[in-house]
Structure 1
Amino acid sequence: MAIIPNFPQRFLREHEIWHGNMGMDVRSGDGVEFLEFHRDFLRRALEWYNTQGLNPRMVEPWSSIPLEIKSHPRWSRRLQQAENRITRDLESFSSSDELGWFLQTSSLHNAIHVIGSEVFNDDDFGSVSLAPRSTLFYNWHGLIDNWWSQL
């Protein structure tokens, strides 16, 4: 829940451009591309982070979606059902592409960014162009990557 000091502009720009190129419609292959991009992005950004002498615990993956987010008034039944499908019925996804597609089209991915930015008072986390300089980005995307690893 902190801004990472001296975070490289190149990473912010790369993330913003990638999302800008995704478009509004999610097509076949976009789901796995979403997962692969973020896994690779996390790896490279965290390699940089680890050279900075910063606290590694700040960027550890969440083990689950925080209760503070799930207690927010905008946490809906639909978002809870989306989380339940992933955490209780992961085998219902026939492929990595379907999981990545679901994260995007169910609004779960974006809702965590938006609600989390409010709950944790971190405007960067809710902004596509600034999210990667927030430690919350690594907590959230680390959880997503862990879900994907279990598929």
Structure 2
Amino acid sequence: MSDPSDREQTAATPDELREQVEQTRAEFGETVQALADKADVKARAKDKTAEVKEQAVAKAGELKAKAAQAARSVQDKLPDQVKHKAAQTADHVREKTAQDGSVWEKTTPEPVRQQAAQGARVIRDNRKLLLVAAGAAAFAWLAFRRRKG
């Protein structure tokens, strides 16, 4: 607040006294406000929550970028023979799925079809994440295979 040497000095005029009183009031007000800010646990918790949320969003963005980079890296390292075989397999799966689709619709009860449709929507909505996971799994498999061999 004020320095003890300030108290020892005497004000020569009423204006100086008023100035000292105003300065003391201002210092006291700042001190009270600082204490009130420290005592406002709810506001401090909100600030901390916002800070943590901001950090989490930033970290999620970093992780997403790293995962995408890893997926690109895996795809770049896959031999053309593997890519060709994967494309052939995908075509075969599409054909087989189309054939089995009609059998599925004829024999499956409606509630089961609705659950399956909901699961398919979830997969479609998270397609990028699933592709990144598949790429990372392929990369891990290739790395394990190279170490083993």
Q: Which structure has more helix as a fraction of its residues? A: 2
What's the TM-score, normalizing by structure 1? 0.26
Higher RCO, 1 or 2 (CA under 8 Å, sep at least 6)? Answer: 1
